Amino acid sequence: MDGKRVLIIGLGLIGGSIALAIKKKHKAVIVGFDVDETQAKLAKSLDIIDDITDSLEEGVKGASLIIIATPVQQTEKIIDQLAMLSLEENVIITDVGSTKKSIVDKSSVLKNKNAIFIGGHPMAGSHKSGVIASKAHLFENAFYILTPDTNCQKRFVNGLKNWLEGTNATFIEMSPSQHDKLVGVISHFPHIIAASLVHQLAHVEEEEQNISRFAAGGFRDITRIASSSPIMWRDILLHNRDVLLSLLEKWELEMTSVKKMLKKADENEIYDYFSSAKQFRDKLPERSKGAIPSFYDLFVDVEDYPGVIAHVTGILGGRDISITNIRIIETREDILGVLRLSFRSEAERQKAKTLLSEYRYETYILD
């Protein structure tokens, strides 16, 4: 694949990270296209891509692989645009969207172009965005779902996997419908619940002022994903509407069951409800990357005196351990520690824990 041309449409975190992963294994010429010229120029200056194209028409010329790394609604529009252009025969086209059925259905417009569309979804992300946050190892050990058409020849699927081998991801093939149901349960629906909890807090605050001040501990943690892009989640919900409507109906039944349980005030039933949830949750994979980005948080007990935060960060900075976020915890009803430090990986968190322990700081990991 040396010398071949790759076009990446959309130069954000995902598009940039895929470009870097391809560069690890292949000497292809990577061309980038983005409606935001600033992102494109930044990607070029950081050597994430080799060249910039000002139009899709120019970008597709000679391309053996086209990766659409844009929001799902934009992806459909780009597929329509590609269908109007002259494409290389047997060019592989893939996307990175977190819904698949509507996009794969839309890709039927490419069949007369002798193009091979294979839906894709790398199930990894970051709390940072933009091409500047791109990392070649972003998808390492993450699930990378592919949803090829039933008529797609295996050699093309293997060809795409070969292009993406530098991601070091685990590739899984499934149908678009299977994918949408899967991510609906483990990613899309939890985001709805998180946003709903935030709305509930906002409504209560209309009656009880300043209540949000006390929502800085566990509440803020379990609703953290509600801070995701509203545009992205608008598009995702519209594209996976049928799955989410079904899940909402089941959720209503679940909440009705909880309501009845509380009315009965049966302490054994209430205990069993939380006990069975705990047992199932404790069996979930701890370290593998999933649809919702993992949070590598370390809680640190510190005394309240001037300079203590600078001391903690100085210890870690002295060993080149990067902190992605730091917050002082005020409400600690169910959390040990005064500081919450967030890290990019489990390895970084463990290094920080060991180092701070050497300085006699008590640290806690809550997973």
Strand 296-301, strand 339-343: pairing: antiparallel
Per-residue pLDDT of the chain (367 residues; tens, 9 = 90+): 667 999 999 999 999 999 999 999 999 999 999 999 999 999 999 999 999 999 999 999 999 999 999 999 999 999 999 999 999 999 999 999 999 999 999 999 998 888 999 999 998 766 567 898 888 888 887 889 999 998 899 999 999 999 999 998 989 999 999 999 999 998 899 999 999 999 999 988 888 877 877 776 677 778 888 888 888 889 999 999 999 999 999 999 999 999 999 999 999 999 999 999 999 988 877 655 555 566 688 888 877 677 888 899 899 988 888 888 887 765 444 445 568 888 878 888 999 999 998 998 888 887 6
Burial of 151 (0-12, 13-18, 19+ CB in 10 A): exposed
Q: How far is Cα of residue 154 from the mean position of the Cα atoms in its chain?
A: 27
Residue 160 tokens, joined: 């795409």
CA–CA separation, 156 and 118 (whole Å): 9
CA 45 from chain centre, in angstroms, equals: 25
CA-angle at 285, arms to 279 and 290, nearest 5°: 125
User: At residue 349, what are phi and psi to the nearest 5 degrees?
Assistant: -65, -45
Report in angstroms the alpha-carbon separations of 277 from 273, 281, 335. 6, 6, 20
Provide the 8-state DSSP code for 186.
I
Nearest by Cα to 164 from 102, 126, 118, 98: 118
Structural domains in the chain, CATH included, are 5-174 (3.40.50.720), 179-282 (1.10.3660.10), 296-364 (3.30.70.260)
- Residue 105 has which token pair? 């259905």
